[in-house]
Amino acid sequence: MNDSPEPVSGNRPAFLFDLDGTLLDSVYQHVVAWHEALNEVGVTLSVWKIHRRIGMSGGLFVTALLRELETTLDEETLARLPDLHAEAFLRNYDSVRPLPGAAELLRTLTEENVQWAIATSGHRKSARHALRLLGLDEDAPLITRDQVRYAKPDPDLFLTAAERLGVDVRDSIVVGDSVWDLLAAQRARALGIGLLSGGYGREELVYAGAFRVYEDPADLLAHLDEVGVRRPL
């Protein structure tokens, strides 16, 4: 009575991109902004521990931070944190740039008729700023936190992105800079490519399941043939 499993298609993969640290050089600004927000409510947490949690959904991020603290925070303080972070991030936003090769990589995929989408734990409003920085149209395929029930490391963002493109997520490759992207990729049964551009170590990404690691979008673009995109020389 078992259905035979659907065979793996070997189709040309679609690419599902994380945003912060993967296409946009914004991870350190987010880290510093969370550090400032926590300081404002009287919480001192080592900066590297914040860095290691970035890319999770806001809810899980706060749960993870609380686990590190010896004190608890009252509901009201917890509720203020996301806004304090957003304000601190805006103060540093001028220094945010696209990562090298980000716009060119997306353009190349489009030219090669390879489907792609962006799936971010961030909210629609800030993600739209990002589209502008990357020189993308407003209707570029973009899935944000507010469109799914659970953000990374749950797979919903990537599942929804694949659905939006009309592709099987198992034919897709997730590109992300954080452990949470790669865990979500595994949960979704997609392959994961890690990028070092979010500041995590190569092995952290490999141990989280990356089947290949590149430095940044430019490095991935230079090696697209390694991950299923054959282009004429």
Ordered DSSP codes for 166-178: T--GGGEEEEESS
Residue 134 vs 161, nearer CB to a second copy = 134
Nearest CA to 171 out of 179, 180, 159 is that of 159
Give least dist CB 66 to a second copy, A: 16
For residues 195 and 178, what is the distance between their CA atoms, to the nearest angstrom?
Answer: 8
Residue 9 interacting with a second copy (CB under 8 A): no
Binding test (CB under 8 A) with a second copy, winner from 163, 203, 225, 226: 203
Give least dist CB 122 to a second copy, A: 17
Binding test (CB under 8 A) with a second copy, winner from 2, 72, 95, 113: 95
Nearest CA to 73 out of 51, 50, 49, 45 is that of 45
Residue 141 vs 199, nearer CB to a second copy = 199
Residue 110 interacting with a second copy (CB under 8 A): no
Residues between 43 and 82 with contacts to a second copy, criterion CB under 8 A: 44, 46-48, 51
Sorted by sequence, the CB contacts under 8 Å of residue 134 that are 6+ apart come out as 23, 24, 98, 102, 103, 106
Residue 196 · residue 216 · CB < 8 Å: yes
Residue 87 interacting with a second copy (CB under 8 A): no
The H or E element containing residue 212 is strand 212-214
Residue 227 interacting with a second copy (CB under 8 A): no
Nearest CA to 136 out of 127, 144, 145 is that of 127
Residue 20 · residue 54 · CB < 8 Å: yes
Binding test (CB under 8 A) with a second copy, winner from 87, 125, 201, 231: 201
Residue 4 interacting with a second copy (CB under 8 A): no
Binding test (CB under 8 A) with a second copy, winner from 60, 120, 197, 214: 197
* Amino acid, single-letter form, for residue 171: D
* Footprint of a second copy (CB under 8 A): 25, 27-29, 31-32, 35-36, 39, 44, 46-48, 51, 92, 95, 97, 99-100, 196-204, 216
